[in-house]
A and B are shown apart, each in its own frame.
Chain A
Amino acid sequence: AQTVTQSQPEMSVQEAETVTLSCTYDTSESDYYLFWYKQPPSRQMILVIRQEAYKQQNATENRFSVNFQKAAKSFSLKISDSQLGDAAMYFCAYRSTNTGNQFYFGTGTSLTVIP
């Protein structure tokens, strides 16, 4: 089975600064999808950004961008101009295109934004 690793249980960033959350994954597949989800204190999971493995261009969504390194199996999330509302748990997720559309999640990174 695929594994997703988030090696930073906790991170903090000053408001308006930039922070990068790390994610690595292990797979033998060549085609798959990667996601970052945000879980604020309400515990509602919110999609932040997605990346198709076949695309070389890194995905961006406003202040959120990824650094996708397929050969290194790395998928980091960069949050620019951090805001207080960015404080949340962030989960990296992998979707297989082979094993019945299963999703695999990392253990999460808790992000604190310091005013």
Chain B
Amino acid sequence: DGGITQSPKYLFRKEGQNVTLSCEQNLNHDAMYWYRQDPGQGLRLIYYSQIVNDFQKGDIAEGYSVSREKKESFPLTVTSAQKNPTAFYLCASSPGTSPTSYEQYFGPGTRLTVT
């Protein structure tokens, strides 16, 4: 089946450790996105990438880093510089500039807890 996978579903880390969240898609989409979801705040954009080897900061990029070495993969690293990393993280993809299909498709999410 085509879709977006995020692993693991739940992730626990100690404060001060970097952690990488996985996002893989087999939809052949050009664009990929990372969002953070906190209660009462909706989805906030962390980073997005429109094409391989290129990415842009979103609204809350501080303390996060990404890479886009392959079209199907867009891993997110939560660094120790992120002050409040505990949250639900959603990865999404979109065909990009195609006029015929322009919504985002979402993965199941990863719940990160840092103690």
- With contacts A100-B50, A101-B31, A102-B45 taken as known, whether A44 is within 8 angstroms of B106 at the C-beta atoms is yes
A contact residues vs B (CB 8 Å cutoff): 1, 9, 33, 35, 37, 42-45, 47, 50, 91, 93, 95, 100-103, 105-108
- Contact: A95 with B102, CB < 8 Å? yes
The A-B contact count (CB < 8 A) is 54
The 3 A-B residue pairs whose C-beta atoms are closest, nearest first, are A45-B106, A107-B42, A105-B43
Q: Could you write out 30 A-B pairs with CB less than 8 Å apart? A: A9-B40, A33-B102, A35-B103, A37-B106, A43-B108, A44-B106, A44-B108, A44-B109, A45-B92, A47-B104, A91-B42, A91-B43, A95-B102, A95-B103, A101-B31, A101-B50, A101-B94, A101-B96, A101-B97, A102-B45, A102-B58, A103-B33, A103-B45, A103-B92, A103-B94, A105-B43, A106-B42, A107-B41, A107-B42, A108-B42
